[in-house]
């Protein structure tokens, strides 16, 4: 069973990461979602990654804020793709999380997306694009979604546009 695994460092990340789960729901893509911290529950995080891999996790999405080491900890544990979502908040409002997530050493990649809601949604899209390499039906859905997005731009513009 192929699925994507979403791990967030704290329940305080859930409000944003729900957007990631909702995106998978919209495309009918299977996912798991848990809270596990690189710092507060390192053993649980390591054990979960191992069991998720055995069950068929194709990619991991890690969301964390502040000294955000969760995505890096996953990258150290698995060779499956790891997508990092830096969370806003803390004294630096996400800059710390963004740099902690993106600045990985060579050979240990974390594909880092934007801060906040856009990043949470794009993490799901990026994971689905990975799945779609071997899932033609999902590939078609993603292409259709691009058309829907383009159409929405036109409709939104039509509702306010001024053209001479």
Residues that bind ligand RP5 (CB under 6 A): 9-10, 12-13, 37, 64-66, 87, 89
CB of 67 to ligand RP5, least distance (A): 7
Distance CA 64, CA 116 (A): 10
Angle at 127 between CA 126 and CA 133, to 5 degrees: 95
For residue 89, the minimal CB distance to ligand RP5 (Å) is 6
Question: In angstroms, rounded to a whole number, what is the distance separating the alpha carbons of residues 147 and 2?
Answer: 26
Identify which of residues 29 and 38 has a Cβ nearer to ligand RP5 in the complex: 38
Q: Identify the CA nearest to 109 among candidates 71, 61, 52.
A: 71
Instruction: Closer to ligand RP5 by CB, 10 or 77: give it.
Output: 10
> Minimum CB separation from ligand RP5 for residue 79, in Å?
23
For the bound state, the minimum distance from the C-beta of residue 9 to ligand RP5, rounded and expressed in Å, comes to 3
Rounded Cα–Cα distance for residues 105 and 83 (Å)? 15
Q: Which is nearer to ligand RP5, 16 or 52 (CB)?
A: 16
Determine the 3-state secondary structure of 61 from DSSP: strand
Q: Let me know: does 132 contact 138? Beta carbons within 8 Å.
A: yes
Closer by beta carbon to ligand RP5, 61 or else 66? 66
């Amino acid at each position: 069973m192929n699925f994507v695994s979403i791990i967030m460092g704290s329940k305080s990340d859930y409000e944003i990461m729900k957007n990631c789960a909702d995106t998978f729901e919209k495309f009918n893509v299977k996912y798991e979602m848990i809270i596990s911290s690189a710092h507060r529950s390192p053993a649980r995080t390591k054990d979960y990654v191992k069991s998720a891999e055995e069950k068929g996790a194709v990619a991991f999405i890690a969301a964390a804020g502040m000294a955000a080491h969760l995505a890096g900890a996953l990258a150290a544990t698995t060779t499956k793709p790891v997508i990092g979502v830096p969370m806003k908040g803390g004294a630096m409002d996400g800059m710390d999380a963004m740099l902690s997530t993106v600045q990985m050493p060579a050979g240990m990649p974390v594909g880092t997306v934007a801060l906040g809601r856009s990043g949470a949604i794009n993490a799901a899209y990026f994971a689905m694009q990975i799945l779609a390499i071997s899932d033609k039906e999902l590939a078609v859905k993603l292409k259709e979604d691009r058309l829907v997005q383009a159409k929405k731009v036109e409709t939104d513009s039509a509702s306010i546009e001024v053209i001479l």
